[in-house]
Amino acid sequence: MEHRVVITGMGIYSCLGENLNDVRDSLFQGKSGVIYDEIRKDFGFRSALTGMVKDPDLTQFLSRRQRIGMHQPAMYAYMATKEAVENAGLDIDFLEKTETGLIYGNDSTAGSVGETIDRIREKNDTTLVGSGAIFQNMNCTVNMNISTIFKLKGINFTLSAACASGSHSIGMGYLLIKQGLQERVICGGAQEINPTAMGSFDGLSVFSTKESTPTKASRPFDRDRDGLIPSGGAATVILESYESAIKRGVPILGELIGYGFSSNGDHLSNPNIDGQNRSLNMALKQANIDANKIDYINAHATSTPAGDSVEAEAIHRVFGGKVAVSSTKSMTGHECWMAGASEVVYSMLMMQNNFIAPNINFENPDDTSAKINIIAETKQQKINYFLSNSFGFGGTNSSLIIKKID
């Protein structure tokens, strides 16, 4: 028997705000979270632009032992998960006595690895790096920390799929619940924001250099875009079987009805229309709806010249030119491993509040973006179905379709 999969909780810690309400307001206002970070320039970055979140003070929530294995990915994920758990009407006592899984997207721990190596080089002695380093440095840091803090007893692993990590994590949670293997899975994505994590990415010369105008620099689909802007934080969604949500008597925020995925099998960094189309069509087929049912597409578009054009073409081929499209990366920058999860949260907030957040800085289309309906100003509109795209290095693609439950 297949189970319906619903969303019963969300949490967000991003450069648009540190909780759902603040982020909702930022999305509605089209507020950018991008800044110029002098530290990056001093570090040798080509572009010092970044979305910015602060490291949360966890001393008020967690003991020393609970905090010691946490660096940015786990710290951000804790904040987002804490909010999501509360939003879903869950608590640790309930989680400890039931089976809840955790599949979190994360694809780096560069900040803590860098600090550890610096320390070993300074001391020339590995026993002086402290007990927390190994738990900060492993890529599954979010899962290790969150599963122990929240006493989770279900499936427990980290999903690494470049900038589609967060999206695939939700997709995998969906499949496990749909098949009846899990009743509830906490999914999400985390992205560290420190310069060490982003130096090699900046080295590809793909970041925007519009440093004199940080909030105007991320301009997905715009003719004058010149690159992406890194960003970070964490986003969590609580997926649950429909039966479990009804049994617990909690509000159902949306229903996940389609997960499409594909691999380009092509180039390390270049996008591929065929790969994206296969992911989009698979999601639609699984959702069992026509393309024209989709009211809104949250595009992956990162503000790179090549990536945005390919996605615009892929969207046009499958959906035509009518469906409303925006890239919230115009406000957040590219939240990388977190983006697939955060953009589901952003789109859910739009669906809950009947608006489409703007693709800010979209002033002039180019040949491909002119083919699709990009929403440049906040639009009041009911959303019954939305699709969220995520594409990652190595050619990994993920598309999620979520339906409103009245």
Two tokens, residue 183: 């009743």
**Among 38, 93, 125, 406, which residue interacts with other proteins (rule: CB under 8 A)?**
125
**Among 21, 63, 179, 292, which residue interacts with other proteins (rule: CB under 8 A)?**
63
Q: Which is nearer to other proteins, 137 or 276 (CB)?
A: 137
Two tokens, residue 124: 């020339």
* Residue 334 is a catalytic residue: yes
State the angle between helix axes of 20-29 and 339-353 in degrees (0 to 180), rounded to the nearest 10.
Answer: 80
Contact 310, 372 (CB under 8 A): no
Distances (CA, A) of 222 to 307, 310, 362, 378: 12, 13, 5, 17
- Give the nearest distance from C-beta 371 to other proteins in angstroms: 57
Q: Is 106 left (phi over 0), alpha (psi -120 to 50) or beta?
A: beta
Q: Which stretch binds other proteins (CB under 8 A): 8-16, 121-129, 190-198, 327-335?
A: 121-129
- Give the nearest distance from C-beta 70 to other proteins in angstroms: 14
213 forms part of the interface with other proteins (CB under 8 A):
no
By CB under 8 A, the count of residues binding other proteins is 12
118 forms part of the interface with other proteins (CB under 8 A):
no
Quote the CA–CA distance of 1 and 353 in Å, as a whole number.
33
Residue 129-168 contact track with other proteins, rule CB under 8 A, x = bound: xxxx------------------------------------
State the angle between helix axes of 141-149 and 72-87 in degrees (0 to 180), rounded to the nearest 10.
Answer: 40
* Residue 168 is a catalytic residue: no
**CB contact set of 233 (below 8 Å; sequence gap of 6+):** 12, 13, 14, 15, 51, 53, 76, 80, 190, 191, 193, 335, 338, 342
Footprint of other proteins on residues 281-310 (CB under 8 A)? none
* Residue 163 is a catalytic residue: yes
Q: Give 237's strand partners.
A: 10, 187
Q: Which stretch binds other proteins (CB under 8 A): 119-127, 146-154, 164-172, 359-367?
A: 119-127
Q: Which stretch binds other proteins (CB under 8 A): 120-128, 141-149, 196-204, 367-375?
A: 120-128
- Give the nearest distance from C-beta 9 to other proteins in angstroms: 30
Two tokens, residue 51: 């979305």
312 forms part of the interface with other proteins (CB under 8 A):
no
Q: Which is nearer to other proteins, 69 or 254 (CB)?
A: 69
HEC string of 61-90 equals CCCHHHHCCCCHHHHHHHHHHHHHHHHCCC
User: Catalytic residue among 15, 163, 187, 336, which?
Assistant: 163
Q: Which stretch binds other proteins (CB under 8 A): 57-65, 215-223, 280-288, 354-362?
A: 57-65
64 forms part of the interface with other proteins (CB under 8 A):
yes
The burial class, CB within 10 Å (0-12 / 13-18 / 19+), for 306 is exposed
Question: What is the separation of C-alpha 281 from the centre of its chain, rounded to a whole number of angstroms?
Answer: 21
121 forms part of the interface with other proteins (CB under 8 A):
no
Residues marked active site are found at 163, 300, 334
Binding site for other proteins (CB under 8 A): 63-65, 68, 123, 125, 127-132
